[in-house]
Amino acid sequence: MASPIVTEFRAERRFLVETLQSQGISDLAVLRAIESTPRHFFVPTGIGRQAYEDRPIHIGLGQTMSQPSIHARYLQIAALTGKERVLEIGTGSGYQTVLLAHLAEQVFSIERVGPLLERARQAIRSCGVRNVSTLLGDGTIGWREFAPFDVILVSAGGPTIPQPLVDQLGEGGRMLIPVGDQEEQILALLTKRGGVVERRDIAPVRFVPLKGTHGW
């Protein structure tokens, strides 16, 4: 889904892409999505240029948008082909949601903080994507109405893997989720084959706590 062409900060987006390439991001689809997505739409007014630095940004309501390299690595591991139905747990600013809209056929995103979701919806609309559906609710119970999903991406760290999300993962589907305590987690890649879920641990990470019925 192509966003409107945004000329503002185009050079900064290009520089960000080059920075990510130097850090080992090689998935061309991910790099194209980052170059075409106006990250300054998702940050507080007045700090647009900072949006293209590789660092996290506070977006209010006690929430932080992860640095671009975290999003890029997450999406590179997800290895999307453009044909998937993706469930995103934690819409946040909406930035990763729009990146997913470029990389998948359809995106379903859940956020538990109402004012944050309303802001994200506005930013998503500004990007012109049309393949995103959002829901205010508890992400740990998923979105059963639209299951099964080919890919589930969880953008917060939980003490365990929520069983409803496992149940909503389709055959051959995969889930990325940070699992651990509230200080540090292990990024786990789950794959469902023949009804059996295989887990592969990727790397230590640090995400905000996953809150909800099956979280903290």
Task: Report DSSP letters for 62-102, one per residue.
Answer: TEEEPPHHHHHHHHHHHT--S--EEEEE--TTSHHHHHHHH
Q: How far apart are CA 66 and CA 42, in angstroms?
A: 12
Q: How far apart are CA 14 and CA 206, in angstroms?
A: 27
Measuring CA to CA, how many Å separate 136 from each of 11, 50, 55, 155, 172?
35, 28, 27, 15, 28
Fold of 10-205: Rossmann fold (3.40.50)
Whether the CB-CB separation of 139 and 159 falls below 8 Å is answered with no
Q: How far apart are CA 134 and CA 108, in angstroms?
A: 6
Write down the domain spans for the chain.
Answer: 10-205
Q: Which positions are annotated as active-site residues? A: 66
**Strand pairing category for 196-205 and 185-193:** antiparallel
pLDDT per residue rounded down to tens, the chain (216 residues): 545 557 889 999 999 999 999 999 999 999 999 999 999 999 998 898 999 999 999 998 888 899 999 999 999 999 999 999 999 999 999 999 999 999 999 999 999 999 999 999 999 999 999 999 999 999 999 999 999 999 999 999 999 999 999 999 999 999 999 999 998 999 999 999 998 999 999 999 999 899 999 999
- Those residues whose C-beta lies under 8 Å from the C-beta of residue 167, and which sit 6 or more positions away, are 142, 147
What pTM was estimated for this model as a whole? 0.94
H or E element at residue 189: strand 185-193
Strand partners, 132: 107
